[in-house]
Structures are given as structure tokens and as C-alpha cells.
Amino acid sequence: MTVIRYPTALPPGPVLGAAPGVTECAEAYRAAGGYAATTAPDELLHHLAASGLRGRGGAGFPVAVKLRSVRELGERGGPGGRGRPAGGPVVVANGEEGEPGSVKDRWLLRARPHLVLDGLARAAAVTGAVRGYVYLSDPVAGARIRRALAEHEPGLPVEVVETPRTYVAGEETAAVRRIDGGPALPTAKPPRPYERGVGGAPTLVSNVETLARVALTAARPDLADRIARTTLVTLSGGAAAPVLTEVPYGVPLRTLAAAHGTPDAAGALMGGLFGGLVGAGDLGLPLDPDALAAAGTALGCGAVRFLAADACPVTAAAEAVDHLAAESARQCGVCVSGTAAVRDAVRALAAGTAGPGTAGNLERWSLALPGRGACGLLDAAAGIAGSLLRAFPGAVRGHLDAPCPACSATAAGHRLTVPVPPVADAPTTKPAGPRDSSAARADRIAPPKGTKP
């Protein structure tokens, strides 16, 4: 795994920072302007709304709208105003990263725990929350967050809650259920957590990268637009090593493919598994949530797996739906039968044993299944089936005629998972050396002289 910045002419990405390979301690974070009493909660909310910052967990919901909803429901005492819930609103930093191709959340918790905790505290100040949680499955990240909490008291009680890592454990209702002592499984919506979450209280469940961007916006409101329009991405696929980087919205997917080391990519699996497949003709699309959605795909959590020039898209689809079917939480009947049906059909295509009705079945399921499960897993499986038919019709036809040598040579399921980049532990009492370098100074987040604090 490599950590790169793109384009290299720009200063270090605001979240990736100047020293992405070392855990940032409290002293280094403070020295760079973190935890400063800069922007008041209402002013921060204004800047978040004006910049249009959206969540980085996958759904891309506007952050300011979510914060405002939790605050208003907290002030009214929950849905229907039936009295203020005990303890008021709750904030949750969601660091549970179930997408196998994404590493950014675990990297962030390991490398910049204080940036996440600062964002959590700022979100608590905006919503009026008096309690916080950091929800995660990565034990290394858990240890670094606990130590960060010991280094710096964030201004409200914060508890670390761990969960087994599954595809659905990071879904917001699954997080609430786990924090409340249950299994990390999604529940039917409504109510959503902002209405009734942890302990029945209005709850903000926010992805850790989102919270990092909230903290950065508080520290540098003058850079709010840039902070909102850059994003961490995990690039993988082909023979090149995976890459974690931070890029501005608008970078063409083809440019990212070249930066990753797959310049002749035949397409990509987008958004983790949530955005489905796109073909080579779509690699001119900009990495932008609206542009990608308009093209029928999704940015999701920012994980992009490029298909090498000689890769078989049917194999890629088979691996993805295999993973999803195995990860179904098996609590919605339509998900159990739907993901199994999609998996079996795509597997049959890959094996060259699909019947003449297979493509028609996949088309029908891709339209009928989305929205029928309690979470997005079923939608992802249906989306992969539909996108395979749309982006690679020739490959699908070819697999109906004869077994594909590329497919039969590939064992499914082992290429989706990307390792977290190494993040060295750092002393806790002194700023890490590299933060004092000129490169680190370029990344300082304290407002420049003359900027309104």
C-alpha cells in the first residue's frame, strides 16, 4: 500500500496531512492548530452549510442538514416533542469500514486520532450532545483512539465501542444497535438515528472522515470549500499496489487510474461495491458525487478498484456479488434469496454454464431488488448485476457462448480486500519530528495572520 498525494503540485491534502505514515500525538496536533477555540458552533454550522460538505461514509448526505436535524430534535425532546431524552443528543464517530476495498477510515483512526476526536467534539458542540462514541472494529485503531483520549480530554465523555468487522456493521442503524448492546445489524427505517438513536436519543452517526473535515473547517473556515471538495480515495486493482490518497473533486477517473498504475484500465468497480461497474468509456468521468450519480454509478466511500486491461469484468462482478452474498446479514428474506440468486447467476456466467435466460434474469433483478432490504447490501448486489449488463454487454454475451479462460483461471473472492497502510506509532509527549519540517508547516491548520479566528 502506498500513500500518495495528487496532484503533487498542491499542498498536502488537508486530511492526509504531511506525515501520513506516523500517528499524530496531541501535542503535534495542538501545535498545528488543532483543538483551538476558533469557530463558534453556529458559525461552524454556517460554514459547513455554505461549503456543502457531504458525508464520506457512502451516502453523501449534507453534513449541515444532519447536524441541524439532531440539534433541533434534541431541543424539541425527540420526535413529536415527547420530552427531552435522558442526557440529550448523542454523537457517534463511525469508523467501521466494511467495504473490503476501502482503508481510509482505519488509516485515519490510526494516523490522525485527534483530528477525528476534535471533529466529534465540534459536532457535539453544534448538536448539543453530551455524550460521544467512537465505533470501530480495527483493534489498532481502537488502541490509538484510546490513547488519544488519554492525551486530550475532548470536552465530553467519549466511549470506544468495538464490533466485529462485517459489510453491514458500519450502517448507521447497525452502529446504534451495537452501541446499545445488541448485534451490529441494520434495522428498518424510519426511524433513522437522527430521530431515535442511541438510547432513544437523537443521534448523529457520522463517518470519521466527515468529522475530520468538520474539525478542519472549524480550524480553517477560510478553506472550507477546499476541505469540502477534496476526498480520501483508496485505489486498487490490476497488478499495481493499492494507493491511499486525497484528491480534489473533478479529477477524471482515468487520471486516477494512471496515478494508481493502471493507465490502460478496462473499467472500474466504483464506490467500494456500491457503485457497480463502469467501462473504459466512463473513465473520463470526474470523481464527483453528483457527476457519478448522474452517470448511474456512485462515489460511495471513495474506493475504486480498476480493472486491468486483460481483466474479465464478469470475474470482477462474480467476486463482488460472492462477497455480498456471503456478507448478507440474513435478516431480510428478499436479501437472502436475492443476493444468492444474483451470485449464482453471475457465477454461472463466469463458469460458462449460464442458461439463455440468465441475462434477462439479471436485468429483472437489477431493477426489482433495490430498496427492498433494510440496508444497502442488496442494492449493491443488484447494482453490480445491472452495471455488468450495461457496461460490458459484449463480455456478457461472450460468456453465454463459451467458458472464459480468464474467469476459470481466477479464484474468486481473494482480490477485493485491501490492506491498511502502515502507520508507525509515535511518542505521545512531544510533537513528531516531521511536523516541524517545512512540508509539515505547509499543512498547519491554524488560521493565518489576519484571518478571523
Residue length of the chain: 453
Q: Does 397 bind ligand SF4 (CB under 6 A)?
A: no
Closer residue to ligand SF4 (CB): 332 or 418: 332
Considering only residues 200 to 239 of the shown chain, the ones binding ligand SF4 according to CB under 6 A are none
Part in contact with ligand SF4 (CB under 6 A); list of ranges 79-87, 123-131, 330-338, 419-427: 330-338
Size of the site for ligand SF4 (CB under 6 A): 13
> 330 or 441: whose CB is closer to ligand SF4?
330
Contact between 189 and ligand SF4 by CB under 6 A: the answer reads: no
Cβ(383)–Cβ(275) below 8 Å: yes
Regarding 341 and contact with ligand SF4 (CB under 6 A), the answer is: no
Region from 45-53, 242-250, 369-377, 388-396 binding ligand SF4, contact rule CB under 6 A: 369-377
Select 56 or 177, whichever has its Cβ closest to ligand SF4.
Answer: 177
Cβ 388 vs Cβ 396: under 8 Å? yes
Report the 10 Å Cβ neighbour count for 433: 13
Taking CB under 6 A as the criterion, the residue among 85, 186, 237, 275 binding ligand SF4 is 186
Cα 88–96–84 angle (5° rounding)?
Answer: 10
Under the binding rule (CB under 6 A), the answer on residue 98 touching ligand SF4 is: no
Q: What angle do CA 54, 303, 148 make, to 5 degrees?
A: 70
Question: Which residue in the set 60, 89, 197, 373 belongs to the binding site for ligand SF4 (CB under 6 A)?
Answer: 373
Which residues have C-beta within 8 Å of that of residue 45, sequence separation ≥ 6? 64, 67, 68, 126
> Which cell numbers in the block locate residue 97?
469500514
Residue 332 lies near ligand SF4 (rule: CB under 6 A) = yes
Give 320 or 377: the residue with its C-beta nearer to ligand SF4. 377
In the complex with ligand SF4, the residue whose CB is nearer, 301 or 377, is 377
Residue 301 CB contacts under 8 Å (≥ 6 apart), including other chains = 56, 57, 58, 97, 99, 102, 104, 105, 271, 272, 274
**Residue among 375, 384, 388, 395 that touches ligand SF4 (CB under 6 A):** 375
Asked if 369 interacts with ligand SF4 (CB under 6 A), we say no
Q: Does 272 bind ligand SF4 (CB under 6 A)?
A: no
Residue 83 Cα distances to 67, 77, 87, 309, angstroms: 20, 5, 12, 60
Residues 6+ apart with CB under 8 A from 118: 29, 34, 35, 154, 215, 218
Residue nearest to ligand SF4 (CB): 373
Task: Yes or no: say if 200 and 157 are a contact pair by the CB < 8 Å rule.
Answer: no
Residues of this chain that interact with ligand SF4 (CB under 6 A) are 168, 186, 328-332, 335, 373-375, 377-378
